[in-house]
Structure 1
Amino acid sequence: MDTPPVQYLRTGDGFNIAYARTGRGRPLVFVPLNFSHIQVFWKGESILAQWLHGLAARFEVIQYDGQGQGMSTRGLKESFSALDQVSDLQAVVDHLGLESFVLLARGPNGHAAIRFAAANPQRVDALILFSLPAVGTAWPQTFAQALPAENWKLFLQSFTAFDGRLNDADESVERMAQTVNQQDWNILIREWLVSDVRDLLPLVQAPTLVIHPRSVIQPAMEDSMNLAAEIPNSRMLLIGGASQLGNPEEGLSAIDSFLAGLPPRGAQPGVAEPPTVDAKTSAPSSHVGEGGRQGSRLSPRQLEILGLLVSGKTNREIASDLVLSLRTVERHVNDIYERLGVRNRTEAVAFALRNLH
């Protein structure tokens, strides 16, 4: 199968997002890996190339490079946040007019997939996650942040060994160098390491398959198990293989079986209705929270704090980041709840993911 042709869309904040679609069948959106380039990894006999060709034989595969990655616009702003990663995904599926699809993700960008699935239950037919912790601090901070900031080339070489790519180490380093530059990586990893989606896991309604290769020790198998345990309609499967995606043949077979065993869409029992949004006010309907000033606008400071809530930061961490007292942050958070008409942090984050792009 040839390398798919690249197309572009332009986001509302001026970024050009590269995307490609190939194969036929049910749409499957492949969320960018931490090293992403929608053309480079189709080439050769790498594990990722085998995965991509196997998926394209089963699905219409939609890939895209996020901001700062691959063939998309480079040069991330310091204000880049977790919401921007969700916005990239939203922009691609909206641009292509995808009403529903399978969502597949591995690595730190998997949190963007979880955030999208929690906020858009009607659009995600199934969620497939690989080797993914719910908390960014589970990633090795010294390796992922300190080393690349100090020695970029050594980091790329070390990552090749870390991800089980020793058979083609030189080629892997060359490919990874094309996916992201040092400056953008430092901004991306900063956001990944503080990301926390634990509060969102109970909101994911899509049937979910969590896959973890047995030989992968970072993130730990326990991290994937804990993630699967908190998603209501999920199952976990161990497969062989040394890379973060595992053995392609085993993994693809597992995905085939998982999707074949799902009930017809809309026939899943025991799933609560998600909070609805009033189309005129863009505020939650009355059953989300009582007495809220629905439709009221948030101040710039409250929007800033809401963005930090989405990234998973605690009130104390927000106070430190913004140089505010803890009491001031708590007051702002309570005001945000009241203005949005929500009851807690989980509902506030879900509202933000649905409405603030």
Structure 2
Amino acid sequence: MSHLTTLAMALLMGLGGMAFGLPAHAGELLQGVQARGAVRCGVSSGVPGFSALNAQGRWQGLDVDVCRAVAAAVLGRADAVAFTPLTSQQRFAALQARQIDVLSRNTTWTLTRDAGLNAHFTGITYYDGQGVMVHRRFGVKSARELQGAEICVQSGTTNEKNLSSYLAREGIRAKIIVYDNFEAAYKAFFSGRCQAFSTDVSALVSLKTSQSNNPEAYTVLPEVFSKEPLGPAVPRGDDAWFAVVKWVVFAMIEAEELGVGQNNLETQLQSQNPAIKRLLGQSEDLGKPLGLPKDWVVQVLRQVGNYGEVFDRNLGQGSPLKLQRGMNALWTQGGLMYAPPLR
């Protein structure tokens, strides 16, 4: 064997060792979070069920719990999160400038946002779709009956474009009234400035429940005319951080599928089920390739819970919204929630 061949083989073996035999190095963002001792999380300025301040001034919601889960995995403390409320216009600028580490703000994953705004979406935490809400006194039973109506919507969102496309496609002559921020748009609707309001169906239900003195006076029409896969995003250019946020979400979904959660964690730590032992770091070390502690999933479940528990308390039957799981049920229960194998 020639000297050059030997050298080439050594290099290949070295590269192979680097690629497959060693743990991933912590990226700049992961190192920054660990040094800072807090995850900087961009959230909405108030969408109950996803991210909003409660009566005690504490942030709560599904998007909020995603950030808390990341903090639990990375720092061992779910409360080590600095929340920044952002408007639709501010959110991607804040992410691009790295003023936040994670954008978890009921944000739809689209091609132009993913590829054109320097963002990496890490997965889907809620499958949604856009709809329309009206006051019952108008007697409207279908969005196709909105001829001549004035419809409020927020600018700078997928909602504005989706609504325009839907009206044109269905030949509905309605007037779209655009507002710069979400709060102004829905307040205009509830004050009677518009006959209808359009946004994601989950947000419509949230608003009807939380912002109206008489929720039964409003109805969400049956038509759903868009795909709105919502999920967290991180800045591009840091694969280590991207992997951490992505797999934290997947771990919460996998834990629900395996029947492991906040309520039974201590018992499940004694389980002999190989999949559960692997997930909880009782056998394999799933933290090593992510640059996380071996018990990172345990911390997420102990302090935040699995996906089903998070859904239930924020959006489902344990919340004022009482939303059905629907598409957000596990794939084993007829839904779309599915995690790649954690192994």
TM-score higher than 0.5: no
- TM-score normalized by the length of structure 1: 0.25
TM superposition score normalised by structure 2? 0.26
Q: Which has the higher Rg, Structure 1 or Structure 2?
A: 2
Higher relative contact order (Cα pairs below 8 Å, separated by 6+ residues): 2
